[in-house]
Amino acid sequence: MSTEQRLLAKIISYEEMLSPYVDTPCWICSLYRGAREAYRIWVGEIPTGLWVLHFCDQPKCINPEHLWLVTYADNVQDRCEKGRSATGTNNGQHTHPKKRARGNRHWTRLYPEKVLRGENHGLVKNPLAAATGDRNGSRLYPERLKRGEEVNTAVLSTAEVLFIRYWCDKGYSQKELAKIFRVNPPAISKIHRRQTWRHV
């Protein structure tokens, strides 16, 4: 028996769209890691480090239309460890939250006189000090700007951003996407509204 036949033989039921994110039935299969097999047979190779996830939220579903690949969280961590900044939960803000001066320990509280307010604020005193608009470096030398994946702290890849936009447009929950890619929901919203990753 071929893998395909083995897989099809193990389908125990077809369940009508249980999730709002799919428009075809789920093929519930009892084969262990059936979704990975299904992806390989009907969609394509699974690059190392990628995970097969379900849009339908049915772990046993093998309908290829419900399967998609995502960077495994460890992979994200790997990328961070390979010389990139610690982001997300690896970031110092997260691992040593107490070390951050907040509230009464923040310098603005300790030395309120150092905070330039109102007329003393640099931009009010000398508005031309800030290179805004066409005088900004990003306009003068756009090629110097790092974008997307080139940014050291980037967590997402271009492919993942396109993926997020595609599913946001289709109405997939931004909260869910945030969970999957381990970013904050507002980050997904910004990507969707093209406030970030505008060049993609």
Residue 21 or residue 72: which is nearer to Zn ion going by CB?
A: 21
Residue 58 or residue 87: which is nearer to Zn ion going by CB?
A: 58
Residue 27 or residue 163: which is nearer to Zn ion going by CB?
A: 27
Interface with Zn ion (CB under 5 A), residue total 6
Interacting residue with Zn ion among 60, 66, 165, 192 (CB under 5 A): 66
Q: How far apart are CA 31 and CA 60, in angstroms?
A: 8
Q: How far apart are CA 63 and CA 42, in angstroms?
A: 9
For residue 52, what are the β-bridge partners?
69
Task: Select from 14, 9, 70, 72 the least CA-distant residue to 39.
Answer: 70
Stretch that binds Zn ion, among 21-29, 86-94, 120-128, 156-164 (CB under 5 A): 21-29
- Asked if 58 is part of the footprint of Zn ion (rule: CB under 5 A), the reply reads yes
Helix (H, G, I), strand (E, B) or coil at 15: strand
Interacting residue with Zn ion among 31, 35, 56, 177 (CB under 5 A): 56
- Asked if 26 is part of the footprint of Zn ion (rule: CB under 5 A), the reply reads yes
- Asked if 60 is part of the footprint of Zn ion (rule: CB under 5 A), the reply reads no
The tokens describing 158, both together, are 């271009």
The tokens describing 9, both together, are 């033989």
Stretch that binds Zn ion, among 1-9, 22-30, 119-127, 192-200 (CB under 5 A): 22-30
Q: How far apart are CA 76 and CA 6, in angstroms?
A: 34
The dihedral over CA atoms of 90, 96, 99, 105, expressed in degrees to the nearest 10, equals: 100
Residues whose CB is less than 8 angstroms from the CB of residue 140 and which lie 6 or more positions away in sequence, other chains included: 134
Residue 56 or residue 188: which is nearer to Zn ion going by CB?
A: 56
- Asked if 174 is part of the footprint of Zn ion (rule: CB under 5 A), the reply reads no
- Asked if 29 is part of the footprint of Zn ion (rule: CB under 5 A), the reply reads no
What residues make contact with Zn ion under the rule CB under 5 A? 26, 56, 58, 61, 63, 66
